[in-house]
A and B are shown apart, each in its own frame.
Chain A
Amino acid sequence: MLEISGLHAWYDESHVLHGMDFTVQEGEVVTLLGRNGAGKSTTLKSIMGLIPKRAGSIRFRGQELIAARPDRIGRQGIGFCPEERGIFASLSVQENLLLPPVVAPGGLTIAEIHALFPNLHERARSPGTKLSGGEQQMLAIARILRTGAKLLLLDEPTEGLAPVIVQQIGHMIEAIKRRGFTILLVEQNFRFVSKLADRHYLVEQGKIVDMIPAHALASRMDDLHNRLGV
């Protein structure tokens, strides 16, 4: 579904991605693991076209996106949930939820989203940023579920959240995976992703250095803990 090859990216003059190569198959949950500054978030932003200077190849369902504008990439059916969540303060919860345009059929209906996230229904009229951190994270994910995007890029959805909320988000990701969504997940929370993902890519200094399928994870624990510094 998504094939990244030889992806380079630069912030101004600093070279952040040094030839990323990885793939995501339809229906998979795939994580990018790595230390801070390894280039995981930059990879997601590069896929969305949000890093102006990038080179290499990003193919989504066979379409080359490396030179495309962010709105064209979004329209292809890739939903993005940024690290800072990107909830709009001047929009109500409901407006935040309805903001991303529908890009393809097959997204969740508002009723389904409210069933999955009852809080968003109760607080529909509150300003988006008056929600708790966990609720904002739910909203940030919920709003890309209704657009019909089938590939979701989630950047550190558990960052700064209480364990009970992290657990809820885990259940939610399982639920949307069962609905056939494909998810590329950036995470620092190793325990969280170890139960969710089909495969893990290890990112170091802007490159993929290893790929670990879920079944091999247990035997690699010690090694990974060392490399991730967790």
Chain B
Amino acid sequence: MVMVLGKPLPLLFGQLLLGLINGSFYAMLSMGLAIIFGLLRIINFAHGAMFMVGAFVTWGLLTYLGIGFWGAIICAPLPVGLLGMAAERFLIRPIYKLDILYGLLLTFGLAQVLQGLATNFFGVSGVSYDPPAAFARVVNLGFMYMPLYRGFVVFAAIIVCGGTWLIVEKTRLGALLRAATENPALVQAFGVNVPRLLALTFGGGVALAGLAGVLAAPLYAVNPGMGSDLIDTVFAVVVIGGMGSIGGAILTGFGLGIIEGFTDVFYPPGSAVVVFVVMAIVLLARPAGLFGKAA
């Protein structure tokens, strides 16, 4: 068997894939957080809960309406986005003028409420969801065996991240978003309904979390704590990438997923903390994050 640095090559590829998958979720979630923080200056602690809601909606669509995975990819992010817009309109909007900590506390509370409700209805262990039939097999790539659905998740995440990046950087809507991030008052004076833009951005950002939840449903147990398990790492990703930098969030998300995966091979006890070690080092060297601009 081929060995690299004393480890079998298939193991390394397996960990690379695992890292890419975790990185996919880090990237999709931290990208939404970065977009929301950039424009609304809200640190959305409810992002993980929205991810969890997306997974449960996916399960609910199948269980109650018979809508399968492909339908859920289209349908599930929508109610999550609407939930986000309602939260923005009635909970977050009244506190924009207050210190940033209030938004953090509010969304943290919202996350607790959503997680509590899910626990109440589905129990702590949650429910299970099967991958779509077309992807429920393992393919031999020559150098490793890959469950096809896992490959699909990485591919889908790259499409979602790339598409979002293109929208933000290359379209008129994106230009409005970037301009409103810099100077919302002036953009509003030009005749743009900025309050509506904020609501749509929050809705869009959490819809991305919902979409990540759809992709996660066949992969992880659909349970009330699935979001909170992930969100600590995702926040570390946002801090490392630089708050508000979308490209930074994407690259850092995938990068840290891979670092985590390889740490697990070479020093297993370190895999749980490596992201936070990287965060500490980055914060010492570049307080604004790898891709952030100094405030």
Contact = CB atoms under 8 A, between A and B. Distances in A.
Interface of A: 48-50, 69-71, 73-75, 80, 82, 86, 88-91, 95-96, 98-101, 103, 144, 147
B175 A95 contact: yes
A101 B194 CA distance: 12
B175 A80 contact: no
A147 B178 contact: no
B181 interface: yes
Size bin of chain B's contact surface: 10 to 19
A69 B181 CA distance: 19
A74 B184 CA distance: 14
B35 to A, nearest CB: 13
Interface stretch (B13-21, B123-131, B185-193): B185-193
A73 B189 contact: yes
A131 to B, nearest CB: 16
Contact of B172 (A74, A88, A90, A98): A98
Contacts of B229: none
A82 B186 contact: yes
Contacts of A69: 188
A50 B185 CA distance: 7
Interface in B161-211: 172, 175-176, 178-179, 181-183, 185-194
Most buried by B among A48, A50, A88: A88
B190 A147 contact: yes
Contact of B179 (A49, A99, A103): A99
A90 B194 CA distance: 18
Contacts of A82: 186
A86 B183 contact: yes
B191 A90 contact: no
B191 A103 contact: yes
Contact of B176 (A74, A75, A99, A147): A99
A98 B187 CA distance: 12
A82 B183 CA distance: 11
Nearest to B171: A95
A80 B182 contact: no
A55 B223 CA distance: 54
Contact of A99 (B185, B190, B193, B194): B190
